[in-house]
Structure 1
Amino acid sequence: MNNIPFITVEGPIGVGKTSLAKLISDHFQYHLLKEIVEENPFLGKFYENIDEWSFQTEMFFLCNRYKQLNDIQSDFLDKNIPVVADYHILKNLIFAKRTLQEKELSKYIRIYDVLTDGLPAPNIIIYLHASLDTLMERIQKRDRDIEKNISPLYLEQLSADYQEVMEKYQKQYPNVQVLSFNGDALDFVKNKKDLDTIIDKIKQTLTLGAYNHESTQEI
Protein backbone atom coordinates (compact mmCIF):
# COMPACT_ATOMS: atom_id res chain seq x y z
CA MET A 1 0.00 0.00 0.00
CA ASN A 2 1.33 3.41 -0.98
CA ASN A 3 1.61 6.12 1.67
CA ILE A 4 1.44 8.72 -1.09
CA PRO A 5 -2.17 9.54 -2.07
CA PHE A 6 -3.24 7.43 -5.02
CA ILE A 7 -6.92 8.06 -5.76
CA THR A 8 -8.93 6.25 -8.39
CA VAL A 9 -12.38 7.17 -9.66
CA GLU A 10 -14.58 4.28 -10.72
CA GLY A 11 -18.11 3.51 -11.85
CA PRO A 12 -20.08 2.43 -14.91
CA ILE A 13 -19.84 3.95 -18.38
CA GLY A 14 -21.13 7.54 -18.53
CA VAL A 15 -21.12 8.24 -14.79
CA GLY A 16 -18.48 11.01 -15.02
CA LYS A 17 -15.23 9.35 -13.96
CA THR A 18 -12.88 11.36 -16.15
CA SER A 19 -14.61 14.67 -15.41
CA LEU A 20 -14.37 14.12 -11.66
CA ALA A 21 -10.78 12.84 -11.81
CA LYS A 22 -9.74 16.00 -13.65
CA LEU A 23 -11.54 18.23 -11.14
CA ILE A 24 -9.84 16.43 -8.24
CA SER A 25 -6.49 16.70 -10.01
CA ASP A 26 -6.97 20.44 -10.56
CA HIS A 27 -7.99 21.04 -6.94
CA PHE A 28 -5.23 19.07 -5.22
CA GLN A 29 -2.63 19.52 -7.97
CA TYR A 30 -2.20 15.76 -8.26
CA HIS A 31 -0.94 14.11 -11.42
CA LEU A 32 -3.87 13.00 -13.60
CA LEU A 33 -3.83 9.52 -15.12
CA LYS A 34 -6.47 9.00 -17.82
CA GLU A 35 -7.28 5.64 -19.33
CA ILE A 36 -7.07 5.04 -23.05
CA VAL A 37 -10.58 4.56 -24.43
CA GLU A 38 -11.17 5.87 -27.94
CA GLU A 39 -7.71 4.64 -29.00
CA ASN A 40 -8.89 1.05 -28.57
CA PRO A 41 -9.34 -0.15 -32.17
CA PHE A 42 -11.77 -2.90 -31.13
CA LEU A 43 -14.19 -0.89 -29.00
CA GLY A 44 -16.60 0.24 -31.70
CA LYS A 45 -16.82 -3.31 -33.03
CA PHE A 46 -17.29 -4.56 -29.46
CA TYR A 47 -20.48 -2.54 -28.95
CA GLU A 48 -21.80 -3.85 -32.28
CA ASN A 49 -20.98 -7.49 -31.52
CA ILE A 50 -19.90 -8.19 -27.95
CA ASP A 51 -19.40 -11.93 -28.37
CA GLU A 52 -17.14 -11.52 -31.40
CA TRP A 53 -14.88 -8.73 -30.13
CA SER A 54 -14.86 -8.94 -26.32
CA PHE A 55 -11.56 -10.79 -25.87
CA GLN A 56 -9.60 -8.48 -28.19
CA THR A 57 -11.16 -5.42 -26.55
CA GLU A 58 -10.41 -6.53 -23.00
CA MET A 59 -6.84 -7.59 -23.80
CA PHE A 60 -6.09 -4.20 -25.36
CA PHE A 61 -7.36 -2.42 -22.25
CA LEU A 62 -5.49 -4.75 -19.91
CA CYS A 63 -2.14 -4.32 -21.64
CA ASN A 64 -2.46 -0.54 -21.84
CA ARG A 65 -3.51 -0.17 -18.21
CA TYR A 66 -0.68 -2.45 -17.12
CA LYS A 67 1.81 -0.19 -18.93
CA GLN A 68 0.25 2.98 -17.53
CA LEU A 69 0.32 1.76 -13.93
CA ASN A 70 3.90 0.55 -14.22
CA ASP A 71 4.89 4.02 -15.43
CA ILE A 72 2.88 5.74 -12.69
CA GLN A 73 4.75 3.78 -10.02
CA SER A 74 8.22 4.66 -11.28
CA ASP A 75 7.57 8.17 -12.59
CA PHE A 76 5.30 9.54 -9.86
CA LEU A 77 4.48 7.45 -6.77
CA ASP A 78 8.12 6.41 -6.20
CA LYS A 79 8.96 10.11 -6.34
CA ASN A 80 6.29 11.00 -3.74
CA ILE A 81 4.03 12.65 -6.34
CA PRO A 82 0.32 11.97 -5.65
CA VAL A 83 -1.83 10.59 -8.46
CA VAL A 84 -5.53 10.56 -9.31
CA ALA A 85 -6.71 8.15 -12.02
CA ASP A 86 -10.04 7.85 -13.81
CA TYR A 87 -9.99 4.06 -13.48
CA HIS A 88 -9.00 1.13 -11.28
CA ILE A 89 -7.59 -1.89 -13.07
CA LEU A 90 -10.13 -4.10 -11.29
CA LYS A 91 -12.60 -2.81 -13.88
CA ASN A 92 -10.97 -5.23 -16.31
CA LEU A 93 -12.41 -8.16 -14.39
CA ILE A 94 -15.82 -6.48 -14.10
CA PHE A 95 -16.07 -6.10 -17.86
CA ALA A 96 -14.43 -9.44 -18.69
CA LYS A 97 -16.75 -11.43 -16.43
CA ARG A 98 -19.72 -9.75 -18.04
CA THR A 99 -18.66 -10.30 -21.67
CA LEU A 100 -16.24 -13.22 -22.07
CA GLN A 101 -17.19 -16.85 -22.58
CA GLU A 102 -16.05 -19.30 -19.90
CA LYS A 103 -13.01 -20.63 -21.80
CA GLU A 104 -11.79 -17.15 -22.74
CA LEU A 105 -12.49 -15.81 -19.25
CA SER A 106 -10.35 -18.50 -17.63
CA LYS A 107 -7.46 -17.64 -19.93
CA TYR A 108 -7.99 -13.92 -19.39
CA ILE A 109 -7.98 -14.19 -15.59
CA ARG A 110 -4.65 -16.05 -15.67
CA ILE A 111 -3.11 -13.28 -17.75
CA TYR A 112 -4.70 -10.62 -15.53
CA ASP A 113 -3.27 -12.19 -12.37
CA VAL A 114 0.24 -12.25 -13.83
CA LEU A 115 0.16 -8.69 -15.13
CA THR A 116 -1.41 -7.08 -12.06
CA ASP A 117 0.90 -8.75 -9.55
CA GLY A 118 2.92 -5.96 -7.93
CA LEU A 119 1.17 -3.06 -9.65
CA PRO A 120 0.47 0.02 -7.50
CA ALA A 121 -2.90 -0.07 -5.77
CA PRO A 122 -4.98 2.97 -4.78
CA ASN A 123 -5.55 3.88 -1.17
CA ILE A 124 -8.76 5.81 -1.91
CA ILE A 125 -11.46 4.81 -4.40
CA ILE A 126 -14.17 7.26 -5.44
CA TYR A 127 -17.11 5.12 -6.54
CA LEU A 128 -19.68 6.95 -8.66
CA HIS A 129 -23.03 5.35 -9.44
CA ALA A 130 -26.22 6.58 -11.08
CA SER A 131 -29.52 5.38 -12.50
CA LEU A 132 -29.72 3.93 -15.99
CA ASP A 133 -31.58 7.03 -17.24
CA THR A 134 -28.79 9.31 -16.02
CA LEU A 135 -26.07 7.14 -17.54
CA MET A 136 -27.81 6.94 -20.92
CA GLU A 137 -28.44 10.68 -20.95
CA ARG A 138 -24.77 11.47 -20.27
CA ILE A 139 -23.58 8.99 -22.87
CA GLN A 140 -25.86 10.60 -25.45
CA LYS A 141 -24.66 14.10 -24.52
CA ARG A 142 -20.98 13.31 -25.01
CA ASP A 143 -21.87 11.78 -28.38
CA ARG A 144 -18.97 9.39 -28.93
CA ASP A 145 -19.31 7.40 -32.12
CA ILE A 146 -17.97 4.25 -30.48
CA GLU A 147 -20.69 4.39 -27.80
CA LYS A 148 -23.73 4.83 -30.04
CA ASN A 149 -24.52 1.11 -30.00
CA ILE A 150 -24.32 0.59 -26.23
CA SER A 151 -27.27 -1.52 -25.10
CA PRO A 152 -29.27 -0.17 -22.13
CA LEU A 153 -29.50 -3.75 -20.83
CA TYR A 154 -25.72 -4.14 -20.98
CA LEU A 155 -25.28 -0.86 -19.13
CA GLU A 156 -27.82 -1.84 -16.48
CA GLN A 157 -26.09 -5.17 -15.93
CA LEU A 158 -22.72 -3.43 -15.74
CA SER A 159 -24.00 -1.05 -13.07
CA ALA A 160 -25.18 -3.99 -10.97
CA ASP A 161 -21.80 -5.67 -11.43
CA TYR A 162 -20.02 -2.54 -10.19
CA GLN A 163 -22.21 -2.34 -7.10
CA GLU A 164 -21.51 -5.95 -6.20
CA VAL A 165 -17.76 -5.68 -6.80
CA MET A 166 -17.39 -2.48 -4.78
CA GLU A 167 -19.18 -4.01 -1.80
CA LYS A 168 -16.92 -7.07 -1.92
CA TYR A 169 -13.80 -4.97 -2.46
CA GLN A 170 -14.32 -2.99 0.73
CA LYS A 171 -14.62 -6.19 2.75
CA GLN A 172 -11.57 -7.74 1.10
CA TYR A 173 -9.38 -4.61 1.43
CA PRO A 174 -10.48 -2.79 4.60
CA ASN A 175 -7.43 -0.50 4.48
CA VAL A 176 -8.69 1.06 1.25
CA GLN A 177 -11.27 3.80 1.76
CA VAL A 178 -14.17 3.61 -0.70
CA LEU A 179 -16.16 6.85 -0.94
CA SER A 180 -19.47 6.31 -2.73
CA PHE A 181 -21.37 9.15 -4.41
CA ASN A 182 -24.78 9.15 -6.06
CA GLY A 183 -24.53 10.69 -9.52
CA ASP A 184 -28.29 11.29 -9.63
CA ALA A 185 -28.09 13.53 -6.58
CA LEU A 186 -24.79 15.28 -7.30
CA ASP A 187 -23.80 17.24 -10.42
CA PHE A 188 -20.16 18.00 -9.69
CA VAL A 189 -19.55 19.45 -13.16
CA LYS A 190 -22.24 22.15 -13.12
CA ASN A 191 -22.72 22.65 -9.37
CA LYS A 192 -19.71 23.81 -7.36
CA LYS A 193 -21.44 22.95 -4.07
CA ASP A 194 -21.74 19.33 -5.19
CA LEU A 195 -18.07 19.28 -6.15
CA ASP A 196 -17.16 20.84 -2.79
CA THR A 197 -19.06 18.02 -1.04
CA ILE A 198 -16.83 15.47 -2.75
CA ILE A 199 -13.63 17.48 -2.24
CA ASP A 200 -14.39 17.93 1.46
CA LYS A 201 -14.91 14.21 1.90
CA ILE A 202 -11.59 13.49 0.21
CA LYS A 203 -9.87 16.05 2.46
CA GLN A 204 -11.34 14.41 5.56
CA THR A 205 -10.09 11.02 4.40
CA LEU A 206 -6.61 12.34 3.65
CA THR A 207 -6.46 14.12 7.00
CA LEU A 208 -7.39 10.94 8.83
CA GLY A 209 -4.35 9.29 7.30
CA ALA A 210 -6.30 7.54 4.69
CA TYR A 211 -7.24 4.31 4.60
CA ASN A 212 -8.41 2.15 7.43
CA HIS A 213 -12.19 2.49 7.55
CA GLU A 214 -14.35 -0.60 7.69
CA SER A 215 -17.23 0.36 5.44
CA THR A 216 -18.13 2.24 2.31
CA GLN A 217 -19.29 5.78 2.99
CA GLU A 218 -22.28 6.83 0.93
CA ILE A 219 -23.14 10.37 -0.12
Structure 2
Amino acid sequence: MSRQYRYIVVEGPSGVGKTALARRLAEHYQSRLLLDAPEDNPFLPRFYADPQRYALPTQLAFLFQRLRQLEETAQPDLFDSGLVADFLLEKDALFAELLLSNDEYSLYLDLYQKLTSNLPQPDLVICLQASPNWLVEHVRRHNYPHLPQVGDGLLRRLAQRYSSFFYRYQDAPLLMVNVEHLQLEQDADFALLLRRINEMRGQREFFNKGD
Protein backbone atom coordinates (compact mmCIF):
# COMPACT_ATOMS: atom_id res chain seq x y z
CA MET A 1 0.00 0.00 0.00
CA SER A 2 1.21 3.50 -0.78
CA ARG A 3 2.82 5.09 2.27
CA GLN A 4 0.41 7.97 1.75
CA TYR A 5 -2.57 5.80 2.75
CA ARG A 6 -1.85 3.26 5.47
CA TYR A 7 -5.43 3.19 6.80
CA ILE A 8 -8.24 3.22 4.22
CA VAL A 9 -11.95 3.13 5.03
CA VAL A 10 -14.63 2.29 2.46
CA GLU A 11 -18.06 3.63 3.37
CA GLY A 12 -21.51 4.15 1.90
CA PRO A 13 -25.16 3.25 2.50
CA SER A 14 -26.27 -0.35 2.90
CA GLY A 15 -26.11 -2.37 -0.31
CA VAL A 16 -23.80 -0.02 -2.23
CA GLY A 17 -20.89 -2.49 -2.33
CA LYS A 18 -18.46 -1.26 0.31
CA THR A 19 -17.57 -4.67 1.73
CA ALA A 20 -16.76 -6.15 -1.67
CA LEU A 21 -14.55 -3.17 -2.50
CA ALA A 22 -12.82 -3.27 0.90
CA ARG A 23 -11.99 -6.94 0.34
CA ARG A 24 -10.56 -6.25 -3.10
CA LEU A 25 -8.50 -3.27 -1.93
CA ALA A 26 -7.07 -5.28 0.98
CA GLU A 27 -6.14 -8.09 -1.40
CA HIS A 28 -4.59 -5.68 -3.89
CA TYR A 29 -2.55 -3.83 -1.27
CA GLN A 30 -1.83 -7.03 0.74
CA SER A 31 -3.08 -5.25 3.84
CA ARG A 32 -5.11 -6.27 6.84
CA LEU A 33 -8.89 -6.33 6.44
CA LEU A 34 -11.37 -5.18 9.07
CA LEU A 35 -15.04 -5.89 8.35
CA ASP A 36 -18.21 -4.81 10.09
CA ALA A 37 -20.01 -7.81 11.61
CA PRO A 38 -23.76 -7.17 11.89
CA GLU A 39 -24.38 -10.89 12.29
CA ASP A 40 -22.67 -10.67 15.71
CA ASN A 41 -25.17 -8.13 17.04
CA PRO A 42 -27.69 -10.16 19.12
CA PHE A 43 -30.27 -7.36 19.05
CA LEU A 44 -30.46 -6.96 15.28
CA PRO A 45 -33.13 -9.63 14.58
CA ARG A 46 -35.26 -8.14 17.36
CA PHE A 47 -34.74 -4.66 15.92
CA TYR A 48 -36.09 -5.82 12.55
CA ALA A 49 -39.18 -7.19 14.33
CA ASP A 50 -39.73 -4.18 16.62
CA PRO A 51 -37.55 -1.18 15.61
CA GLN A 52 -38.93 1.28 18.15
CA ARG A 53 -38.32 -1.00 21.13
CA TYR A 54 -34.90 -2.32 20.13
CA ALA A 55 -33.27 0.62 18.34
CA LEU A 56 -31.26 1.79 21.37
CA PRO A 57 -29.81 -1.58 22.48
CA THR A 58 -29.05 -2.38 18.84
CA GLN A 59 -27.11 0.85 18.37
CA LEU A 60 -25.24 0.48 21.65
CA ALA A 61 -24.30 -3.09 20.76
CA PHE A 62 -22.97 -1.89 17.39
CA LEU A 63 -21.02 0.92 19.04
CA PHE A 64 -19.26 -1.34 21.55
CA GLN A 65 -18.68 -4.04 18.94
CA ARG A 66 -17.01 -1.61 16.53
CA LEU A 67 -14.96 -0.03 19.31
CA ARG A 68 -13.66 -3.48 20.30
CA GLN A 69 -12.74 -4.22 16.69
CA LEU A 70 -10.81 -0.97 16.32
CA GLU A 71 -9.11 -1.30 19.71
CA GLU A 72 -7.96 -4.84 18.88
CA THR A 73 -6.21 -3.55 15.77
CA ALA A 74 -4.60 -0.56 17.52
CA GLN A 75 -1.18 -2.19 17.93
CA PRO A 76 2.17 -0.42 17.34
CA ASP A 77 2.66 -2.32 14.06
CA LEU A 78 -0.93 -1.71 12.90
CA PHE A 79 0.02 0.18 9.76
CA ASP A 80 3.13 -1.82 8.78
CA SER A 81 1.10 -3.72 6.22
CA GLY A 82 -1.77 -1.23 6.07
CA LEU A 83 -5.41 -1.62 7.04
CA VAL A 84 -8.60 -1.52 4.96
CA ALA A 85 -11.96 -1.35 6.78
CA ASP A 86 -15.51 -1.36 5.48
CA PHE A 87 -16.84 0.93 8.19
CA LEU A 88 -16.16 4.36 9.60
CA LEU A 89 -17.01 4.57 13.29
CA GLU A 90 -18.77 7.91 12.76
CA LYS A 91 -21.40 6.09 10.72
CA ASP A 92 -22.62 4.51 13.93
CA ALA A 93 -23.74 7.93 15.13
CA LEU A 94 -25.31 8.58 11.74
CA PHE A 95 -27.55 5.52 12.12
CA ALA A 96 -28.31 6.42 15.74
CA GLU A 97 -29.49 9.90 14.77
CA LEU A 98 -31.76 8.40 12.15
CA LEU A 99 -33.27 5.62 14.28
CA LEU A 100 -33.39 6.82 17.89
CA SER A 101 -35.79 9.12 19.68
CA ASN A 102 -34.42 12.48 20.87
CA ASP A 103 -33.87 11.29 24.45
CA GLU A 104 -32.28 8.03 23.35
CA TYR A 105 -30.01 9.83 20.90
CA SER A 106 -28.88 12.27 23.60
CA LEU A 107 -27.94 9.33 25.86
CA TYR A 108 -26.21 7.55 23.00
CA LEU A 109 -24.28 10.68 22.01
CA ASP A 110 -22.94 11.17 25.55
CA LEU A 111 -21.52 7.64 25.48
CA TYR A 112 -20.22 7.99 21.93
CA GLN A 113 -18.31 11.20 22.63
CA LYS A 114 -16.70 9.79 25.79
CA LEU A 115 -15.61 6.53 24.16
CA THR A 116 -14.32 7.59 20.74
CA SER A 117 -12.00 10.54 21.39
CA ASN A 118 -8.67 8.69 21.05
CA LEU A 119 -9.23 6.47 18.02
CA PRO A 120 -6.95 6.89 14.96
CA GLN A 121 -8.36 8.68 11.92
CA PRO A 122 -8.15 7.10 8.45
CA ASP A 123 -5.59 8.33 5.93
CA LEU A 124 -8.27 8.05 3.22
CA VAL A 125 -12.03 7.55 3.21
CA ILE A 126 -13.64 6.24 0.03
CA CYS A 127 -17.37 6.93 0.09
CA LEU A 128 -19.42 4.99 -2.46
CA GLN A 129 -22.54 6.90 -3.42
CA ALA A 130 -25.57 6.49 -5.65
CA SER A 131 -28.99 8.03 -6.00
CA PRO A 132 -31.68 6.69 -3.66
CA ASN A 133 -33.61 5.24 -6.62
CA TRP A 134 -30.52 3.41 -7.93
CA LEU A 135 -29.77 2.05 -4.47
CA VAL A 136 -33.30 0.68 -3.95
CA GLU A 137 -33.28 -1.04 -7.35
CA HIS A 138 -29.78 -2.41 -6.78
CA VAL A 139 -30.75 -3.98 -3.44
CA ARG A 140 -33.90 -5.48 -4.96
CA ARG A 141 -31.95 -7.06 -7.83
CA HIS A 142 -29.22 -8.55 -5.63
CA ASN A 143 -31.41 -9.72 -2.72
CA TYR A 144 -28.75 -9.12 -0.09
CA PRO A 145 -29.20 -11.61 2.77
CA HIS A 146 -28.02 -9.09 5.40
CA LEU A 147 -30.77 -6.64 4.41
CA PRO A 148 -33.81 -8.89 4.85
CA GLN A 149 -36.23 -6.35 6.25
CA VAL A 150 -34.79 -2.95 5.38
CA GLY A 151 -37.59 -1.17 3.59
CA ASP A 152 -37.26 1.13 0.60
CA GLY A 153 -38.04 4.17 2.73
CA LEU A 154 -35.17 3.48 5.13
CA LEU A 155 -32.76 2.84 2.25
CA ARG A 156 -33.69 6.19 0.72
CA ARG A 157 -33.28 8.02 4.03
CA LEU A 158 -29.91 6.33 4.57
CA ALA A 159 -28.69 7.40 1.13
CA GLN A 160 -29.74 10.98 1.81
CA ARG A 161 -28.22 10.97 5.31
CA TYR A 162 -24.91 9.61 4.01
CA SER A 163 -24.84 12.31 1.37
CA SER A 164 -25.43 15.04 3.96
CA PHE A 165 -22.89 13.56 6.39
CA PHE A 166 -20.07 13.32 3.86
CA TYR A 167 -20.88 16.73 2.45
CA ARG A 168 -19.70 18.07 5.84
CA TYR A 169 -17.01 15.47 6.57
CA GLN A 170 -13.52 16.95 7.04
CA ASP A 171 -11.68 14.56 9.38
CA ALA A 172 -9.70 12.75 6.65
CA PRO A 173 -9.05 12.99 2.90
CA LEU A 174 -12.23 11.93 1.12
CA LEU A 175 -12.80 10.39 -2.30
CA MET A 176 -16.47 10.38 -3.31
CA VAL A 177 -17.14 7.63 -5.87
CA ASN A 178 -20.36 7.44 -7.86
CA VAL A 179 -20.93 3.72 -8.48
CA GLU A 180 -23.94 3.95 -10.79
CA HIS A 181 -21.77 3.44 -13.90
CA LEU A 182 -18.95 1.46 -12.27
CA GLN A 183 -18.54 -2.30 -12.04
CA LEU A 184 -15.78 -2.45 -9.43
CA GLU A 185 -15.70 -6.24 -9.49
CA GLN A 186 -14.38 -5.94 -13.04
CA ASP A 187 -10.63 -5.42 -13.51
CA ALA A 188 -10.94 -2.44 -15.85
CA ASP A 189 -13.12 -0.35 -13.53
CA PHE A 190 -11.15 -1.39 -10.46
CA ALA A 191 -7.97 -0.21 -12.21
CA LEU A 192 -9.65 3.14 -12.91
CA LEU A 193 -10.41 3.52 -9.22
CA LEU A 194 -6.85 2.60 -8.20
CA ARG A 195 -5.47 5.21 -10.58
CA ARG A 196 -7.87 7.79 -9.16
CA ILE A 197 -6.69 6.96 -5.64
CA ASN A 198 -3.04 7.32 -6.66
CA GLU A 199 -3.73 10.67 -8.33
CA MET A 200 -5.50 12.23 -5.34
CA ARG A 201 -3.95 15.53 -4.33
CA GLY A 202 -6.71 17.41 -2.51
CA GLN A 203 -8.60 16.87 0.73
CA ARG A 204 -11.87 16.15 -1.11
CA GLU A 205 -12.20 14.79 -4.63
CA PHE A 206 -14.88 13.14 -6.76
CA PHE A 207 -14.79 10.22 -9.17
CA ASN A 208 -17.56 9.59 -11.67
CA LYS A 209 -16.85 7.30 -14.59
CA GLY A 210 -19.24 9.27 -16.75
CA ASP A 211 -17.18 12.49 -16.37
Which of 150, 173, 177 is 1:181 aligned to? 177
Change (3 A) 1:100 1:74: same
Q: Any conservation in 2 of the 1:4–1:81 contact (CA below 8 Å)?
A: no
Q: Which amino acid aligns with 1:186?
A: L
Equivalent in the alignment of 2:204? 215
- Aligned partners of 1:18 and 1:86 also within 8 Å: yes
Deviation per residue, 1:131-183 (Å, 9 max, x gap): 33443344342541x5221111111011111011101113xx3xx21111112
Q: Secondary structure at the match of 2:41?
A: coil
Q: Distance in 1 between matches of 2:86 and 2:92?
A: 13
Contact 1:44 1:147 survives alignment (8 Å) = no
C-alpha distance in 2, partners of 1:143/1:180? 23
Q: Is the 1:11–1:127 Cα contact (8 Å) retained in structure 2? A: yes
**Structure 1 residues 8-51: Cα deviation after superposition (integer angstroms, max 9, x where no partner):** 00000000011000000111111111111112122222233321
What is the aligned-residue RMSD (CA, Å)?
Answer: 2.0
CA distance in 2: counterparts of 1:26 and 1:57, whole angstroms: 31
| Higher fraction of helix | 1
Structure 2: stretches of 5+ with no match in the other structure:
none
Secondary structure of the corresponding residue to residue 187 of structure 1: coil
1:199 is aligned to: 194
Q: Percent identity?
A: 30
State the AA in 1 paired with 2:168.
K
- C-alpha distance in 2, partners of 1:26/1:70? 22
- Secondary structure (helix, strand or coil) at the match of 1:74 reads coil
Question: What stretches of structure 1 of length at least 5 have no aligned partner?
Answer: none
Aligned pair count reads 205
Amino acid at match of 2:190: L
